[in-house]
Structure 1
Amino acid sequence: MEGDCINYAKRCHKCQIHGDKIHVPPLPLHVMTSPWPFSMWGMDVIRPISPKALNRHRFIFVIIDYFTKWVEATSYASVTKSAVSRFLKKEIICRYRMPERIISDNALNLNNSMIAEIVGKMAETYKDWHEKLPFALYVYQTSIRTSTGATTISLVYGMEAILPIEIEIPSLRVLSKLKLDETEWI
């Protein structure tokens, strides 16, 4: 009986038009490559965050370098052309260089799920999430990216960041860099 139902659904024109499209293969991903660091950036605006921050900010503007995956971000009450251009001049052009390309999909409130997830954990109950945004970026920049196999800090600065916890608690990385054994560290 199950086979009869399957055969009927395969031959039914309406079933084929309105049927579940799960078995349609996904479109292939188009890899965005950049020839050198800071030459190509992607821009995004994260959807309105609730609750609003104490400074009334609701949006996060995010820009990511395609070569190193380095992220810069800031929060805004409303995202305007003048605010974005001021951010690009001050935080990107003056720090890194004039980008060859900046990629955006021209939407007003877009979703960068990774940063939104990090900020979402901070903004669940607190209205001071805008003050925690630099810490979220630090976590992102000191985490190993699976696409590159390295942290964005190491790709940008050529060395790993010493995490604040490693100063207080000895880690193998700090011990090996300082060429100390455990007894000398303590």
Structure 2
Amino acid sequence: MRGQIEAYVRRSLDCQRYKPSNQKSAGLLQTTISNQRFEVVAFDLFGPLPRTPNNHSWIFIVEDVTTRWLELFALEQATAEECARILLNEIILRYGTSRRFISDNGSQFVSNMVQQLTFCLNIQHELTPVYHPETNTVERRNRDLKTQLAILVEGDHTLWSDKLPSIRFAMNTARSSTTGFTPAYLTFGRELRTPDDVIHDIRKVIKNETFIPDITPRLLMMSETIERTNEIQEMKEEQRKEYVDQKRREIPNYQPGSLVLVDSHTLCKASHGFS
């Protein structure tokens, strides 16, 4: 009798549609580690923000997944044309052509303009799930950026664009808990000179007559550092995968022609008047 009831409930369309599922979410975590700088680039839009005197109201965030190097661009309008222009002129033509882009499903990023850019340059564009933007690594930067802006703008919230260079410098010279290095060091092979270094300028050693530049050892050290960084990131990703997969399960092996039930419940949105 119990088996018959369980079978009936499993076949009931209403039960499948409306009763909460107590199963673990399907799909194990897939980790991705890039070996070269700017091989994988993630980007996102932050805003809208109070309009500045220069008519800016958005921030376009671009991050190199390998080094965590960050670029921040103030935009007047969050358009596909502007995003594509920045990706080409400020990222690709400065750091080289990436192999992969990662972004959410924003209309600017799935537009013909961005798609044409990725197609012409043979760049694979990966989109994060609609209701899970946190899978985009640059999403984590939004929280830090929001905090930094709140601290620096003080009373006048229309001057936030003036603070972006300082915020970008601070983030790129801060040591990453994942890699153990600063984004600046992993990008350029040296630490950026900060205002604090004015007092303790270690570069005065170069003026010494006995100083002999040793390029080859530095290149070897940089290569070893990148390799060690990749190993650290792989270890961190494996630890994260092990933790996340405890709450998830394998995706069922669906066959062509199988009937599946897709959850398409609309998220409530008060601004649009529905719930």
Give the TM-score, by structure 2 length: 0.50
Q: Deviations over 1:36-93 (max 9, x none)?
A: 11111011111222x3222121111001111111111101121111101110111111
Matches within 5 A, 1:48-67: 48-49=48-49, 51-67=50-66
Q: Cα RMSD (Å) of the superposition? A: 3.1
What residue is the counterpart of 1:11 in the other structure? none
Q: Contact between 2:153 and 2:163, CA under 8 Å: does it hold in 1? A: no
Q: Look up the match of 2:84.
A: 85
Task: Tell me how far 1:30 sits from its aligned partner.
Answer: 4.5
When residues 63 and 176 of structure 1 are mapped into structure 2, their CA distance, relative to the original with a 3 A threshold, is closer
Letter in 1 for 2:191: E
After superposition, the C-alpha distances for 1:84-132 in whole angstroms (9 at most, x for unaligned) are: 1110111111111111111111236985212222223223422221122
User: Does residue 188 of structure 2 align to residue 161 of structure 1?
Assistant: no
Q: Identify if the C-alpha distance between structure 1 residues 40 and 167 changes in structure 2 by more than 3 Å, giving closer, same or farther.
A: same
Match of 2:171 in 1: 140
Task: Report the CA distance between 1:137 and its aligned residue.
Answer: 0.3
| 1:184 matched residue in structure 2 | none
Aligned CA distance change for structure 1 residues 54 and 37 (closer, same or farther; 3 Å): same
Could you tell me which residue of structure 1 aligns to residue 155 of structure 2?
125
Distance in 2, matches of 1:178 and 1:157, equals: 20
Native 8 Å contact 1:45 1:108 kept in 2: no
Q: Runs in 1 of length 4+ with deviation above 4 angstroms?
A: 27-30, 108-111, 174-177
Contact 2:40 2:102 in 1 (8 A): yes
Residues 28, 162 of structure 1: alpha-carbon distance in 2 compared, 3 angstrom cutoff: farther
The 2-side partners of 1:30 and 1:138 are apart by 31
2:45 paired residue number:
45
For the residue of structure 1 that corresponds to 2:94, the secondary structure is coil
Pairs within 5 Å for 1:28-39: 30-39=30-39
Gaps of 5+ in 2: 1-18, 109-132, 134-138, 207-275
Q: Secondary structure at the match of 1:137?
A: helix
> Aligned partners of 2:41, 2:77: CA distance in 1, in Å?
21
| Larger proportion of helix | 2
| Cα separation, partners in 2 of 1:162 and 1:82, compared to 1, 3 Å | same
Answer whether contact 2:44 2:62 (CA < 8 A) is retained.
Answer: yes
CA distance in 2, matches of 1:29, 1:149: 23
Distance in 2 separating the partners of 1:124 and 1:108 = 32
Aligned match of 1:178 in 205, 221, 230?
205
Query: How many residues are paired up?
Result: 157
* Runs of 5+ consecutive residues of structure 1 not aligned to the other structure: 1-16, 180-186
Q: Percent identity?
A: 27
Normalising by structure 1, we get a TM-score of 0.71
SS at match of 1:60: strand
For residues 72 and 178 of structure 1, the distance between their equivalents in structure 2, rounded to whole angstroms, comes to 31
| Aligned position for 2:6 | none
Residue in 2 aligned with 1:114? 144
